[in-house]
Amino acid sequence: MADKKKRRRAAADSDSDSDTLQFKSKLKPDSNILQILKTLKSSAANTAASEKPRPLSELNLATACREVADLPLSSVQSTIESLALSLAHSILSGNGFSFSVPSRAAANQLYVPELDRIVLKDKSSIRPFANVSSVRKSTITTRIIQLIHQLCLKNIHVTKRDLFYTDVKLFQDQSHSDAILDDVSCILGCTRSSLNVVAAEKGVVVGRLIFSDNGDMIDCTKMGMGGKAIPPNIDRVGDMQSDALFILLVEKDAAYMRLAEDRFYNRFPCIIVTAKGQPDVATRLFLRKMKMELKLPVLALVDSDPYGLKILSVYGCGSKNMSYDSANLTTPDIKWLGVRPSDLDKYNIPEQCRLPMTEQDLKTGRDLLEEDFVKKNPGWVEELNLMVKSKQKAEIQALSSFGFQYLTEVYLPLKLQQQDWL
Amino acid sequence: MEVGGSSESPSETKKSKSKTPRKTKDAAQTLKQKSPAEFFADNKNIAGFDNPGKCLYTTVRELVENALDSAESIAELPIIEITIEEIGKNQYNSMIGLADHGRVDEALYDDFETVKAREKRLAKEARIQENQAKSAALGKKGKAATAVKPIKSRETSYYRVSCKDNGRGMPHDDIPNMFGRVLSGTKYGLKQTRGKYGLGAKMALIWSKMSTGLPIEILSSMKGQSYSSFCRLDIDINKNIPHIHVHEKRKNEERWHGAEIQIVIEGNWTTYRSKILHYMRQMAVITPYSQFLFKFLSGSPDKNVTVRFARRTDIMPPAPLETKYHPSAVDLLLIKRLITETSKQNLLQFLQHEFVNVGKSHAERLIGEMGTDFSPKMAVKSLTSQQIVRIHQLFRQAKFDDPSGDCLSPAGEYNLRLGIIKELHPDMVATYSGSAQVFEGHPFIVEAGLSLGGKDVKQGLNIFRFANRIPLLFEQGADVVTRTAAKRINWNNYKINQTQDKIGVFVSIVSTKIPFKGTGKEYIGDDISEIASAVKTAIQQCCSQLKSKIVKRIQAREQQERKRSLNKYIPNATTAIYDILKEMSRAHASKKRRYDGKDAELLKQVSAQLVTQETLREKLAQHVEQVDYEMAMEYATQTGVNEEPREEIYIPPLEAQCSFTEFHSPIFVFRLFN
């Protein structure tokens, strides 16, 4: 079926303009590209085998760092209970109560090049009840802890939205309860998933992947165009099998749609994942699990703007907000396939598809240049410098100016053939 | 207008001759002369006489501003009485000697209601009533019963506006020309002046002539005169000359000096009521040393308004000085005018004495630069137009020192502050006076005041704009002050909430030439970067003065509300902790989990109801109490004893006849009694 499609496509393309042809003619037969991808996969598998995850304690870092672990429900419960007892004792002895909350501010973050991810340093702040500025937060903290305790007793999962709606009057805004939830997992020293609180489904996956979701086998090639929603709690996911050669990470829903509809994964066996913008915890956990179990190389397709690179860095090195759990959330060794600032000229993307960068964009770009996780990769620094200098950005959709299927038929195959990733 | 024929070249005359036959065909195109008075009668909108309402407003402001100028010119603290009296149609008719006519043919009038229209209206009223009854039955709180709109009457209303001041008065013989001749003033030189149009009461007189035909009445007396002058006159618009009805000397026994002007015009009080009152209030802010009594009288006593703006200080800003033009501020026409008016003989003296910032040596250098056909001793009146163009060019290109602001008379921080306090009674006030700056050769000074809270102030920004010490009320949106305050000041930086707080922004700009925008001269454009940045700095300076006070006030409020805001959360926190304890004690009792030592003890107490939610609540409340007490102590030791709020009072001297010397500073005045 794929062959038939290809023939039809070739006929349709015969009248396309010279620009498209110029790049199309460079394309070698798919078998050559597949060969390249196979070597990529095997080398990725080899490095993954040789690289053992190094625990933080072995690194002898100058500052102490805080990391959380996946805890079983019973130990979460007992941690909460001993915390509650100490709070009660403190109140009964007339001292009020307070929490010691690890700080998640930017100053308390550290990029560890050996691990290639951000970790949280051990600075923490006291959150006393009897203080006007922290009374609200400490009250919300007690309330969240009590709600988590109930979840432990009943052994059920709820969403962040559910949690918010149990006491709207106190929480006022979901962003408040969400932020405190992260604080609580820091205080208790466990991952957010072990608190049995999940976020709503956001990410989707399609392609050559079979896994079990809560016991049901899912074949991601047979999930229609939209693909399979990534389950919010990773515990449900298991038994991953795949014949894919690589994982393609896509920033945008629109590009994902194009790839899924064109069944790109049938031409080049791959798994396509998107979180539709900034990735949520579930997508990051899922990507990491795929990478670890299937030992596949990960290639990223993001917009050519500072936010594209930022999203890439969140998958790769973790976000500052959840750096305490970066060990479980990050996927090492993600390659930046496109759309890179240098591609704009390389692929003759027309002027009308390029956008001028705003002041805010430029500032974000310059800030990124200062970040360690960008600096460690000279290729990225070069690309980012080019972007800031040309003051132009472009979305993945800019490629549609050569035809809607240019992305799947010319751009990506050519990129793969030239091994043009950083 | 006559064109000097001698200078015209023959070829040009030929051309114009060839054109003339065509022109003569057009019989209607005869050359007509228009008197200045006619011009202003035709274009009364440029002087602020757009519609009857605005005419009433502008008449009031012209009279008030003339009165203030007059009193200030003799350094007398102004006392001004303004009265607007509504005149009914019958009264007006009897005034002009017209018999009252009732309507005979009702259908002739515009407000006549035809049978069809009447049916329509009645049907509509019935529908509205039905709807109201329905919503009332449903218990809905609908819109308050909308009063049925009264049928609009096209009747014009007439007002007698009178203004009495204690100023200089006018010389007996000059009165007719001062009122009855437009553009008759012989203002020479340059000065910061109040009037925007320079027309004053003359324009009001033209309007009264147009709308009512009634003459203006003037009673005036100068200091030391044993008589007062009374004059009743109107204006011959075609000839631009006064038409005198009565001009006589009357007895002046109480030795009153000043002027009282009375004029009857068409107007509209209902639509411009708030504008006129705002104007009076803002005038009171910027001139706290004057006393205003504003009265509105009408047939129905419930509509009458009497507002008294009391004097708050007896310090007046010094009168603005006359100054010379700055070389970079003149144009060709102005140079020609200066040449015809000058008393100086030669070019050197002319440059030296008719302009600021041109010294003798500087003038000599300038003349040297002009070229070979100029010399210091050449007669200034003999300059050709080409030579004048050369002078003008040089003035544009050469560098001159900026004019100083000495000739300006800003309101002063002292007066601005007192004015704001007097009229708004704000919780906080700050003022700032910038140094003189220059725009296109004219010096300007920007002063700003900022108030928070107060009486009759709405939430959000309240902008008060003053140009040369008169309020600007119209076209606020495009003004530099409005734009700056609304867009370029980050109020949050100063802990001011732009939408919630009652913010009063007062900006007064004085200059020898205010760069007004638009025909109405009602606003200053936002495109002059010098003025925009000066306004921004002035407002920001006020903001930063207030910031520390605001922070202190917020702290004090937090101090008071701390206990309440802490106690508010006690039930939430204790319930959460107690719930966990209860679950634990249940597990403990059923031996599912084991606890040791004091933990077990605590859980036992929970099971036995010895420790309840109430216990936790009480203990936490006690703790809050203690913390609150400690922090209150700490706050008290830090801030010291609370200052009692002081009441600011002003006691005017009963007999202001002591002689003294005043030492002025921007923020205070020191008086040395001799």
Bridge partners, B243 (sequence order): B234
Residue A324 annotated as catalytic: no
pLDDT at B441 over 90: no
Residues in A touching B595 (Cβ below 8 Å)? 85
Q: What is the pLDDT of residue B235?
A: 86
Q: What is the pLDDT of residue A116?
A: 81
CB pairs under 8 A between A and B: 89
Q: What is the pLDDT of residue B645?
A: 54
Q: Where are the beta strands (DSSP E) in A115-157?
A: 117-121, 124-128
**b/e sequence B303-342, b meaning 16+ C-beta within 10 Å:** eeeeeebebbbebbbeebeebbbbbbbbeeeebeebbeee
Q: Please name the member of B576, B611, B619 whose beta carbon is closest to the beta carbon of A143.
A: B576
Same fold for the domain at A23-52+200-417 and the one at A65-198?
Answer: no
| CB B460, CB B186: distance < 8 Å | no
Nearest residue to A4 (alpha-carbon basis) of A263, A381, A336: A263
Torsion, Cα of A335, A341, A342, A347 (10° steps)? 100
- Asked whether residue B186 is marked as a ligand-binding residue, the answer is yes
- Of the listed ranges A177-186, B23-32, B197-206, B572-581, the least confidently predicted one is B23-32
- Asked whether residue B284 is marked as a ligand-binding residue, the answer is no
CATH class of A23-52+200-417: alpha beta
C-beta atoms of A129 and B573 within 8 A: yes
* pLDDT band for position B236 (cuts 50, 70, 90): confident
Q: Please name the member of A95, A132, A142 whose beta carbon is closest to the beta carbon of B577.
A: A142
Nearest residue to A299 (alpha-carbon basis) of A35, A29, A41, A28: A41
Roughly how many angstroms between the first and final C-alpha of chain A, as a whole number? 34
Coil, helix or strand at residue B573: helix
Q: What is the DSSP secondary structure assignment for residue A408, as one 8-state letter?
A: I
**Helix-then-strand count for chain A, H and E:** 19, 18
Surface of B (117-146) touching A: CB under 8 A? none
Tokens 């700490």 locate to B634
Q: What is the pLDDT of residue B644?
A: 53
C-beta atoms of B583 and A85 within 8 A: no
**What is the residue extent of each domain of chain A?**
23-52+200-417, 65-198
Surface of A (85-104) touching B: CB under 8 A? 85, 87-89, 91-92, 94-97
Q: What is the pLDDT of residue A54?
A: 67
Give the C-alpha separation, A277 to A285, whole Å: 16
C-beta atoms of A149 and B558 within 8 A: no
- For B7, B593, B623, B658, the CA distances from B316, given in Å and listed in that order, are 54, 86, 59, 17
Q: What is the pLDDT of residue A120?
A: 86
For an interface test with B, give the residue of A142, A145, A180 to mutate (most B CBs within 10 A).
A142
- A184 — contact with chain B (CB < 8 Å)? no
What's this model's pTM, rounded to 2 decimal places?
A: 0.64
Bridge partners, B545 (sequence order): none
Kindly report the CATH number that applies to the domain delimited by B327-397.
Answer: 1.10.8.50
Coil, helix or strand at residue B437: strand
Give the C-alpha separation, A309 to A357, whole Å: 15
Q: What is the pLDDT of residue B13?
A: 41
Average pLDDT over residues B362-367: 88
Q: What is the pLDDT of residue B198?
A: 58
Residue B118: how many other CB atoms lie within 10 Å: 10
pLDDT at B21 over 50: no
Residues in A touching B573 (Cβ below 8 Å)? 97, 129, 138-139, 142-143
The answer regarding whether domain B415-540 maps to CATH 3.20.20.10 reads no
Q: Where are the beta strands (DSSP E) in B369-501?
A: 428-433, 437-439, 442-452, 460-467, 470-472
Tokens standing for residue B436 = 């003189």
- Asked whether residue B578 is marked as a ligand-binding residue, the answer is no
Identify the H or E element spanning A146: helix A135-154
Nearest residue to B496 (alpha-carbon basis) of B532, B446, B547, B571: B547
| CB B222, CB B257: distance < 8 Å | yes
Give the C-alpha separation, A393 to A309, whole Å: 12
Give the C-alpha separation, B288 to B312, whole Å: 5
Tens digit of each residue's pLDDT, chain A (422 residues): 444 444 444 444 444 456 666 788 888 888 888 888 888 888 888 887 776 666 666 777 777 788 888 888 888 998 999 999 999 999 988 888 999 998 888 888 888 888 888 888 888 889 999 888 899 999 999 999 999 999 999 988 899 999 999 999 999 999 999 999 999 999 998 888 888 898 888 899 999 999 998 889 999 988 888 889 998 888 888 889 999 999 999 998 889 999 999 899 998 999 999 999 889 989 999 999 999 888 889 999 999 999 998 999 899 888 888 888 888 888 888 999 988 999 888 888 888 888 899 888 999 999 888 888 888 888 899 999 999 999 989 988 888 888 888 888 888 988 888 888 88
- Asked whether residue B187 is marked as a ligand-binding residue, the answer is yes
Q: Please name the member of A82, A149, A170 whose beta carbon is closest to the beta carbon of B583.
A: A149
Residues in B touching A139 (Cβ below 8 Å)? 569, 572-573, 576
| CB B87, CB B211: distance < 8 Å | no
Homologous superfamily (CATH) of B38-95+155-309 is Histidine kinase-like ATPase, C-terminal domain (3.30.565.10)
* pLDDT band for position B531 (cuts 50, 70, 90): very high
Give the C-alpha separation, A330 to A286, whole Å: 10
- What average pLDDT does the structure give for chain A? 86
Give A37's contacts (C-beta < 8 A, 6+ positions apart): A245, A246, A268, A416
Give the C-alpha separation, B30 to B43, whole Å: 21
Q: Please name the member of B572, B602, B619 whose beta carbon is closest to the beta carbon of A139.
A: B572
Give the C-alpha separation, A202 to A229, whole Å: 7
Residues in A touching B620 (Cβ below 8 Å)? 91, 96-97, 129
* pLDDT band for position B45 (cuts 50, 70, 90): confident
Q: What is the pLDDT of residue B265?
A: 92
Give the C-alpha separation, A306 to A285, whole Å: 24
Q: What is the pLDDT of residue A215?
A: 87
Give B673's contacts (C-beta < 8 A, 6+ positions apart): B658, B659, B660
Q: Write the pLDDT tens digit of every residue in A5-27.
A: 444 444 444 444 566 667 888 88
Residues in B touching A92 (Cβ below 8 Å)? 602, 611, 615-616, 619
Average pLDDT over residues B295-317: 88
Q: Where are the beta strands (DSSP E) in B255-399?
A: 258-267, 291-297, 305-309
- A156 — contact with chain B (CB < 8 Å)? no
Give B571's contacts (C-beta < 8 A, 6+ positions apart): B617
**b/e sequence A130-169, b meaning 16+ C-beta within 10 Å:** bbeebbbbbbbbbbbbbbbbebbeeeeebebeebbeebee
Q: Please name the member of B565, B580, B623 whose beta carbon is closest to the beta carbon of A80.
A: B580
Helices (H), ranges, A195-347: 253-261, 264-267, 281-294, 306-317, 326-329, 341-346
Tokens standing for residue B186 = 């012989």
Tokens standing for residue A171 = 């929480």
Q: Among 1.10.8.10, 1.10.10.10, 3.40.1190.20, 3.40.930.10, name the CATH number for the domain at A65-198.
A: 1.10.10.10
Q: Write the pLDDT tens digit of every residue in B121-140.
A: 888 888 888 888 887 776 65
Residue B547: how many other CB atoms lie within 10 Å: 15
Q: Where are the beta strands (DSSP E) in A124-187?
A: 124-128, 158-159
Burial of residue A368, with CB atoms counted within 10 A of its CB: 0-12 exposed, 13-18 middle, 19 or more buried: buried
Identify the H or E element spanning A178: helix A174-188
Residues in B touching A88 (Cβ below 8 Å)? 577, 581, 602, 611, 616
**What is the residue extent of each domain of chain B?**
38-95+155-309, 327-397, 415-540, 552-639
Give B202's contacts (C-beta < 8 A, 6+ positions apart): B37, B40, B179, B180, B181, B182, B235
pLDDT at B539 over 90: yes
- A105 — contact with chain B (CB < 8 Å)? no
Residue A283: how many other CB atoms lie within 10 Å: 25
Nearest residue to B420 (alpha-carbon basis) of B505, B537, B485, B483: B505
| CB A148, CB A155: distance < 8 Å | no
- For A95, B285, B402, B405, B411, the CA distances from B289, given in Å and listed in that order, are 61, 9, 32, 23, 11
DSSP string, B258-298: EEEEEEEEEE-HHHHHHHHHHHHHHHHHH-TTSEEEEEEE-
Q: Write the pLDDT tens digit of every residue in A227-257.
A: 899 988 888 888 899 999 999 999 988 899 9
Nearest residue to A185 (alpha-carbon basis) of A32, A324, A9, A47: A324
| Active-site residue identified among A165, A256, A324, A411 | A165
Nearest residue to B427 (alpha-carbon basis) of B451, B458, B448: B451
| CB B119, CB B330: distance < 8 Å | no
Rg (CA), chain A: 24
Torsion, Cα of B31, B36, B37, B40 (10° steps)? 100
| CB B534, CB B437: distance < 8 Å | yes
Coil, helix or strand at residue B469: coil
* Phi, then psi, of A99 in degrees rounded to 5: -110, 150
- B585 — contact with chain A (CB < 8 Å)? no
